[in-house]
Chains A and B, each alone.
Chain A
């Protein structure tokens, strides 16, 4: 079945996420719910991936807590626009706290992709990059092309944050994969890999 994208953008979310993660080094990754889980897990089921497979609005703050505890490590958030909107106050909190090692990447298809592609606010005028910039994020970007993505990679991975980017992608999704679902398993695997201690 060919599903038409419900927006005008041409980047494919899975390719975007895989490209970003190619350069992750020893970064830890926290995902939002839904497609973000599958985008990240399909690149590599790294033990330093924390898949938040069942919560709306928590990914940015979970990652911020890791960033505080692990100040020498880069922490990436890969999440969707719907998930971020559900915890939009997090941007204000993170903007105030200024964690240098936190990068938030919103894969923005302007739709609730897991529930039938209903519109989110981002296709109707809400500017997440503007909110992040106004909240005090050190560097922000709107990414709509591969060239723009390439130019941002050094900021995502290496430059002092907090960093925030929205990547506009088509609303078509790729197949789901068998990412581990059990929260106790994924979290203890993550903690052991990130802290070097057995959980």
Chain B
């Protein structure tokens, strides 16, 4: 802590990733675009190596470095594992799509590596400054990724929109941070927590600062009322990029949100709890009702992810250890559902290129039954119907809410999930009950099929066997956060 000898071990995976990412960038620059395949494979390897190093070398014991700016604990290990996996899968499923659209550039995997690095810093941030640095590194990479397909109007529009609104939210975040610093005199979460707890009376400046901070973070997790960018960006970005957006960054931002609130503002539970409850309810309702009228499946998934963030926030609102455990379980399950669903969307290809309308799935059960079954598993799982993994997520989340005495919140959440069920059912209906609208051309490669297959499997009743270990891992992670 005193900086006598700098202990780099807690940040070892991040350092490897940073150096590796830059090496890959150099490699790409010297070899040109034809090196996409090689760089993509190396990036996946790099991410997995870092993950193994983190699990084996860093472990779950709490440790801080860089003068308390960077912290690792079991919570970080759990969230980072999800981030690593989400990023690796996003690179894995992209190959064929990118080369078909003529955007198979080496920057794609490299940008994902840097975005991942940003997310890892977010998860490990123990200081408002490292929080901001991680967040910006991630966001800047994501802005570029959204606009990757630069010859296509919608992609550039998505990138620009994301950038402008993202910059606005970063501004709010910074303003909040400066207020908090100004009124408390620290940016360190641990010091902040003790100073707030020890204070005689609550300073209104810190409250306002925290509200701005929350607004900025709500933007990153696309919680209502800061969700406006989500449908447009999801729709406009190239599909593998959308898959990436929906998965790993959401996990990282939620983990960050949890750490800030639990570690940084434990003395202000009553203040932030009501904000979280509000954005949670708003997200669940908007995610459910607005999705009802969507015809584009990527927009549908955008509203679906807004709704799911709303559910995850229910666990945050509970504010208890069980609540955080529930958030982690939920995020893990959400990650598999989302990646699987987007990998399946990648296979929606007809003679004149990619199709994105729900109607294009018509009669999929007669032309490609395994794919239709897989998509149905994702849809029922997203809807949270028992037998599928998504139900376990809802069970943990709402159990924590009921335990914390938030029964109205649980009831609203469940009612919203019934509404949401309608549009998930509609996708199943289109695939199973409607006449075929022509088969999809197969072939997004084995990687995509494997991702669809594996995630469908873990979401299917096979999840009955996995939920025990996932639950105990999440409990182990949540336990570390509260020391």
Asked if A and B bind, the verdict is no
A residues with CB within 8 A of B: none
B residues with CB within 8 A of A: none
